[in-house]
Structure 1
Amino acid sequence: MNDMTVNTGGKCPVMHGSATSSRSTSTKDWWPEALNVEILHQHGARSNPMDPDFDYKEAVKALDFDALKADLHALMTDSQPWWPADWGHYGGLMIRMSWHAAGTYRTSDGRGGGSTGNLRFAPLNSWPDNGNLDKARRLLWPIKKKYGNAISWADLMLLAGTVAYENMGLETYGFAFGREDIWAPEIDVNWGEEKEWLAPSENRYANLEDADTLGPNLAAVHMGLIYVNPEGVNGNPDPARTAKHIRVTFARMAMNDEETAALTAGGHTVGKAHGNGDAGALGREPEGGNIEDQGFGWMNPNSTGKPSGHITSGVEGAWTTEPTKFDMGYFDMLFGHEWELTTSPAGAKQWKPVNIEDIDMPIDTDDGTTKTMPVMTDADMAMKVDPIYREICEKFMADEAYFRDTFARAWFKLTHRDMGPKANYIGPWVPEEDLIWQDPIPAGSTAYDVAAVKAKIEATDLTPVEMITTAWDSARTYRGSDKRGGANGARIRLAPQRSWESNEPARLGRVLSALEPIASETGASVADVIVLAGNVGVEAVAKAGGFNVDVPFTPGRGDATQEMTDAESFDVLEPQADGFRNFAKDQYAGVADEMFLDRAQLMGLTAADMTVLLGGMRVIGANYGGNAHGVFTDNVGSLSSDYFVNLTDMGNTWHPVGNDLYELRDRETGKVKFTATRADLVFGSNSILRAYAEVYAQDDNKEKFAKDFVAAWTKVMNNDRFDLNGEPNA
């Protein structure tokens, strides 16, 4: 973790135009409230410089893993004059880079994390908390250059921290390759509404005294931080208060109290914080620097050319006596001394020991002989003051082996949490143990007669819409952000999903009672039978619409058990809104279109996918609770393009009738023909989505509509089939 904040003078992170700027005004500048459909098309083929047939997951399998690790070990102690290493060791810097790449992950929407290499791009590359990590990436460049396409930046940045720990004496838990790089900044992640770095925390909390009121989807207390302010809440030291905010922010990043304490201790067992100078003198962050700086940020005009001249957080000092060794020194220092408030040379609030012997003090990074004062941040003091964290730390102190193992596992979780199931793990260092946070799923059978299963499904008294909605509800939980959820595992039949309001428990129970015996009789998994039943339903409604289609199906899904399912961690996957089924909890009704877009993006859908699925689900009659909003057809239950035909018919007009509901009325007679929600109207009001809707409203595209609906449906059903060539959507 090491350095955590940078004083940038509260500079706005947004580039502003000027008389000499070539930046033109964008559509978003003119209409900032417009629905940004572009998030469905980010990271497309046009932004990717690799050949169309390049497959990173195959390329990395040919990597010389041992040679790469040897090169990283050598890098750790190869201090460069342009950025000299603390004590001649880059371990602390590399660990901080890995930590801050992975530490943006949040459980609420699965976004953030290190699995895309997003630390290379704005805004993360210029966050105050990521000060001087541009140097870590440049130190890695010769290695990236050497191994080229066989190692992604995402994998390399996280491996560097893991190797650093090994180099400093930790037996790590393992490492998996397989993270694919993105090539442009992410536009789908809401890091907060503030337009100023390190804006006061009040902007993020309903009540700053209640840490649980941190805004939805956020997991850091300030814009531009990873976790908490190391100087205390809003820069006011109070370890007991800080502990409450630590607990919430780490929990939102998937860590429990024991993992939090282990990560804090293990993160500060090595390396140091940098604040031995005037942080206000630093230059702009990388994204705002001069062109000749070539992406280097935070240039220090007062640099001494020595490690002590590095300025990052403003906090100054090392936490342990030997900061290049992974040992129990953090606990010895924190619990072996009393501490008092002081300030760093940069003016940051920090803690120093009241009394300390020279032998316990760390050595100066420059001369290797002079002793310097150790440091603790308010976050460190929280480990001592908070009774829960203190008890955990005392347990660690009594059993070093237990601490090392707990930390190694927590570090592995931190750096792998957003990779999804182990099917996405590649390389020789993948641990054999299945961990519950990996959402394990047993392999499913393919040795059954699919046609026979399909016949048994067709023989039930289930309606097409019951089968379609059940398959949809099972699959829609998939999040491409962290590759969790989906139909594989059939967790819709387990807690907590079986009780979710959006899954209509009564209907779900009725469908499962008909499908589970079929799975038992045929040797198919329940997961396969649920998806196959959905396909049967789609084929039936397509036939009713005049289309004979065969919906593709690939067997092999497995069934998870309740013991394999961390019910609490799955709670965050519950849909608060699902525009495809016109469902939204009351408090989200006013933003139904925005949440619709968010769900489509998490499901990996394009704008065209989103459009065709919406139109098909409406006319099928798949709305939540059977509501009629958006069902623009007189032939409910038949797959047709009626939704788009009526949406674009200029013989109709729209009228708000309250509670975010609208009526479609005949322009001449005023007769109400249909009702709709915001999730429907956006396909007529948004110019991009309307363009797609018009395609499917054309007289010559009725068959195309059916074909495209089946293709998009199959994509949703297969999103989590990582066993199909190692890729979703295969």
Structure 2
Amino acid sequence: MQSIDNPEALAQCPFRGTRIGGAIGSAPTTDDWWPNRLQVELLHQESQRANPLRDESYSEAFNKLDYAQLKQDVKDVLVDSKDWWPADYGNYGPQMIRMAWHSAGTYRIADGRGGAGQAMQRFAPINSWWDNGNTDKSRRLLWPIKRKYGASLSWADLIVLAGTVALEIMNFPTTGFAGGRRDAWEPDRSTYWGPEFWNGKPFDESQATGDHKGHPEEMVSPKLRWVGGPKENYHDLENPLAATHSNLIYVNPEGPGGNGDPMDSARNIRESFARMAMNDEETVALVAGGHAFGKSHGMVPAAKIGYAPEAAGIEEMGLGWHNPVGSGNGPDTMTNGIEGSWTPNPTQWDNTYLINLLRFEWKKVESPAGAVQWTPVDSSAPKTPDAHREGVMNDLMMMTSDIALKVDPAYRKVCEHFLNDFEAFTVAFSKAWYKLTHRDMGPKDRYLGPEVAPEDFLWQDPVPKLDHPVVDAADVADLKRRILATGLPVSALISAAWSAASIYRDSDKRGGANGGRIGLEPQNKWELNRPAELDRVLTTYWGMRDEFNAAQSDGKKVSLADLVVLGGCAAVEQAAADAGTEITVPFTPGRMDTTAELTDAESFDWLKPVSDGFKNYHNDQVGYRVQPERIFLDRAQLLTLSVPEWTVLTGGLRVLEQNWDYSKHGVFTDRPGQLTNDFFRVLTSMDYEWKPADQGKTVFNLNDRATGVTKYTATRCDLIFGSNAQLRNVAEVYAADDGQQRFIKDFVAAWNKVMMLDRYDIKDA
């Protein structure tokens, strides 16, 4: 009889004796049967029902804990070696730095996903990536601290704190630490990490390219472990994914595909770190700074290492990568296959990494596990103490990704600067580490604790603090009246507000209307924001702002950011009134205007959507592998919208004429500019037949069935709400004879939600 814990056992139906797909003991899922189905249910992940702490305020709990004692507890754990997983050099600091780095290092600037913010390192697929080998042990070592502080300390905060404290106990001066990260309670099912070939399916060598063909020893094992280590993915990941290969953090340390070529590695490093919002100086600081500590592990061939955590047997206690050789740890540890340390003092902050890298020549050798690494040519080079055997000295080690910093001219220039100015190196690494571990947290209003860095960094998209009284209800009513009296079209006012607020992304809490960056480059020049029209609106608002503020004797002010949102609210009220419904759209003042000097235009330009279904915008200059409606779903998820919110906003924005190019796609109404449910009534009507208008089925004609005459046109992002089963059922609610009032009420609520997404200055994150 086959063991139920054997991942290679056939999945047998106990009742019919037939093999079934999916996990062992499960039937094929809807996704197995219909792989092209739009997974609308992704908008409903992270259910509060999964969160056992949903009744807790994390900010209140964190702020009440004894922070000094917490840090001391972490320090005590870091130097208390355990027999079940002995500490290298008697200090867990280096491996905690690696754990924190790898937790934060999944961040990517293109869509803000990844990062340390929810401790996704605890869940699949990230917990079982080859590059995260043995980070499961680091988290278990921290469990006594997590157990002690319970709901007052998230895993996400503890992981980053442990890495930061580890730097401090090895005499490195850190920039600080901010708490405030909330834990996730289920795996992230919406983020695309690239082609993850290690899901149990044997790799098809016909898919391999270039030098990787004909190397079956590097294939992915069907046993859900990595026979070839990080070499198993033969395809460089497409931009904007952060790492260069699947299941890696950043790059393959042996060089692309394990080729051992430092210049190839340098190109990969530059591309990968750029996707994570790091420039050359920050890149060198992070690599050289991180490799000043600890060692790499490669004493055992990868083929001998057991299953990753998600596939390991129940007896492994949720841990993975069982090593059957020797003690399985300590001197026999296997992680990435490269063996050795970079410096003679692996638990002290100094500059010997750069000294060794630049002073000595290095030659390629193989680790005990067969990985490509480098050793000094000069026999007089210093040695490094063995991590576990007292009195034993070993040769220094460099990775191909280290040698890359020496051979790349730009990186070498930075290395030489840091070598000659150790203080500059220290400051650069300290700031780069703070950026790495806080990059996805969003505005500083979300930061908690006594060690928040006082400096405002450009990557935080800083917004000045509110320093004046805000407008009251009477002012709001008067300003609404003035805005509507300007004669600016309702659609233009709504477009300005929506364009400002809707670039918010919950992944890294960037974007939104606060700060008034809609009035600054690059956002005011984006073609999808209808820049000529936007300029007329902004010019009107600037004049109105200056006039209002000059007339106040009590210091009261209104910002451009507030006027942009308020104008949109007034326009929505007007559109509803024109459709026969009086309704007040909520408005909360207090937004501030930032400046061009406080805006990193290059970084901020990443927030520009390449496709935005809310505006029927699709940049055809970009090569897409997915349909527009899938990118539309992704945008809705970044805005934290539910299915009904996504649906009602789309239907409302269509009749309010919000297409970026003023096209009539999806404007299913004879009353444009009025907030009606006409979009849904036409969408669900059988009076029309949908006919593709182009070969790629991106644009459609809605033809009257009786006459064959085209009445309306539409895109995929319009018609998906009538074709997808879940979306259509919601659309039918708003299309019903009693749906108009519900539609307006729900649209206003969803509109207000989007306008308020970035208001961390007044809400609990």
Give CA deviations for 1:192-250 in whole Å, capped at 9, x if unaligned: 02424898999899999xxx995122121211101111111111111112111100100
State percent identity of aligned pairs. 50
Q: What residue in structure 1 maps to residue 174 of structure 2?
A: 172
Among residues 361, 367, 392, which one is paired with 1:370 in the alignment? 392
**SS of the counterpart of 1:346?**
coil
Give CA deviations for 1:87-115 in whole Å, capped at 9, x if unaligned: 11101110000000000000010000000
Q: Does 1:501 align with 2:494?
A: no
Q: Is the 8 A contact 1:106 1:217 kept in 2?
A: yes
Among residues 649, 662, 672, which one is paired with 1:613 in the alignment? 649
Q: How does 1:118-517 map to 2 (within 5 A)?
A: 118-196=120-198, 215-304=238-327, 307-357=330-380, 360-444=382-466, 445-448=468-471, 449-517=475-543
**Equivalent-residue separation in structure 2 for 1:336 and 1:651 (angstroms):** 79
Q: What residue in structure 2 maps to residue 47 of structure 1?
A: 50
Q: Does 1:541 align with 2:575?
A: yes
User: Cα–Cα, structure 1 residues 148 and 615, in superposed 2: closer, same or farther, change >3 Å?
Assistant: same
**SS of the counterpart of 1:596?**
helix
Deviation (angstroms), 1:355: 1.9
Among residues 654, 659, 666, which one is paired with 1:623 in the alignment? 659
**Equivalent-residue separation in structure 2 for 1:435 and 1:271 (angstroms):** 29
**SS of the counterpart of 1:419?**
coil
**SS of the counterpart of 1:616?**
helix
**SS of the counterpart of 1:663?**
strand
Higher mean C-alpha deviation, range 25-34 or range 584-593: 584-593
| Aligned residue identity for 1:47 | A
User: Cα–Cα, structure 1 residues 463 and 202, in superposed 2: closer, same or farther, change >3 Å?
Assistant: farther
Give CA deviations for 1:485-516 in whole Å, capped at 9, x if unaligned: 11111111111111111111101111111111
Deviation (angstroms), 1:356: 3.5
RMSD of Structure 2 on Structure 1 (CA): 2.2
Q: What residue in structure 2 maps to residue 6 of structure 1?
A: none
| Aligned residue identity for 1:492 | I
Give CA deviations for 1:519-549 in whole Å, capped at 9, x if unaligned: 1122210000000000011000000111111
Q: What residue in structure 1 maps to residue 228 of structure 2?
A: none
Q: Does 1:31 align with 2:54?
A: no
Q: Is the 8 A contact 2:733 2:739 kept in 1?
A: yes
| Aligned residue identity for 1:480 | D
Deviation (angstroms), 1:576: 1.5
Q: Does 1:578 align with 2:620?
A: no
**Equivalent-residue separation in structure 1 for 2:237 and 2:27 (angstroms):** 36
Q: Does 1:63 align with 2:65?
A: yes
**Equivalent-residue separation in structure 1 for 2:621 and 2:10 (angstroms):** 37
Higher mean C-alpha deviation, range 589-598 or range 566-575: 589-598
Q: What residue in structure 2 maps to residue 525 of structure 1?
A: 559
**Equivalent-residue separation in structure 1 for 2:726 and 2:239 (angstroms):** 28
Q: What residue in structure 1 maps to residue 763 of structure 2?
A: 725
Among residues 716, 725, 731, which one is paired with 1:693 in the alignment? 731
**SS of the counterpart of 2:310?**
helix
Q: Is the 8 A contact 2:40 2:633 kept in 1?
A: yes
**Equivalent-residue separation in structure 2 for 1:606 and 1:587 (angstroms):** 30
Q: Is the 8 A contact 2:194 2:237 kept in 1?
A: no
Q: What residue in structure 1 maps to residue 118 of structure 2?
A: 116
**SS of the counterpart of 2:374?**
strand
Give CA deviations for 1:424-461 in whole Å, capped at 9, x if unaligned: 11110001111111000112444333233222212211
| Aligned residue identity for 2:399 | T
Q: Does 1:87 align with 2:89?
A: yes
User: Cα–Cα, structure 1 residues 355 and 213, in superposed 2: closer, same or farther, change >3 Å?
Assistant: closer
Q: Is the 8 A contact 1:200 1:222 kept in 2?
A: no
Q: Is the 8 A contact 2:236 2:244 kept in 1?
A: no
**SS of the counterpart of 2:738?**
helix
Q: Does 1:710 align with 2:713?
A: no
| Aligned residue identity for 1:677 | T
Deviation (angstroms), 1:700: 1.6
**Equivalent-residue separation in structure 1 for 2:104 and 2:730 (angstroms):** 37
**Equivalent-residue separation in structure 1 for 2:211 and 2:63 (angstroms):** 49
Deviation (angstroms), 1:719: 0.7
Give CA deviations for 1:389-446 in whole Å, capped at 9, x if unaligned: 1111111111111111110000000000000111111110001111111000112444
**SS of the counterpart of 1:624?**
coil
**SS of the counterpart of 1:286?**
coil
**SS of the counterpart of 2:112?**
coil
**Equivalent-residue separation in structure 1 for 2:10 and 2:58 (angstroms):** 38
Give CA deviations for 1:134-178 in whole Å, capped at 9, x if unaligned: 000100111000000000000000110000000111010000000
**SS of the counterpart of 1:611?**
helix
**SS of the counterpart of 1:372?**
strand
Q: How does 1:653-668 map to 2 (within 5 A)?
A: 653-658=689-694, 660-668=698-706
Question: Which consecutive unaligned segments of at least 5 residues does structure 2 have?
Answer: 1-6, 14-23, 213-234, 549-556
Higher mean C-alpha deviation, range 331-340 or range 402-411: 331-340
Q: What residue in structure 2 maps to residue 8 of structure 1?
A: none
Deviation (angstroms), 1:16: 9.6
**SS of the counterpart of 2:394?**
coil
**Equivalent-residue separation in structure 2 for 1:709 and 1:16 (angstroms):** 51
Runs of 4+ in 1 over 4 A off after TM superposition: 14-17, 197-208, 587-590
**Equivalent-residue separation in structure 2 for 1:585 and 1:407 (angstroms):** 38
**Equivalent-residue separation in structure 1 for 2:210 and 2:752 (angstroms):** 42
| Aligned residue identity for 2:691 | H
Deviation (angstroms), 1:635: 1.0
**Equivalent-residue separation in structure 2 for 1:407 and 1:561 (angstroms):** 27
Q: Does 1:562 align with 2:591?
A: no
**Equivalent-residue separation in structure 1 for 2:309 and 2:326 (angstroms):** 17
**SS of the counterpart of 2:680?**
helix
Q: Is the 8 A contact 2:528 2:615 kept in 1?
A: no
Q: Is the 8 A contact 2:196 2:247 kept in 1?
A: no
Q: Is the 8 A contact 1:204 1:221 kept in 2?
A: no
| Aligned residue identity for 1:625 | D
**Equivalent-residue separation in structure 1 for 2:448 and 2:8 (angstroms):** 39
| Aligned residue identity for 2:11 | S
Deviation (angstroms), 1:304: 2.1
Q: What residue in structure 2 maps to residue 683 of structure 1?
A: 721
**SS of the counterpart of 1:689?**
helix
User: Cα–Cα, structure 1 residues 104 and 225, in superposed 2: closer, same or farther, change >3 Å?
Assistant: same
Q: Is the 8 A contact 1:73 1:167 kept in 2?
A: yes
Q: Is the 8 A contact 2:351 2:419 kept in 1?
A: yes
Q: Is the 8 A contact 1:84 1:305 kept in 2?
A: no
Give CA deviations for 1:606-632 in whole Å, capped at 9, x if unaligned: 111100000011111222222111111
Q: Is the 8 A contact 1:531 1:717 kept in 2?
A: yes
Q: Is the 8 A contact 1:653 1:667 kept in 2?
A: yes
**Equivalent-residue separation in structure 1 for 2:149 and 2:649 (angstroms):** 42
Q: Is the 8 A contact 2:439 2:508 kept in 1?
A: yes
Q: What residue in structure 2 maps to residue 650 of structure 1?
A: 686
**SS of the counterpart of 2:652?**
helix
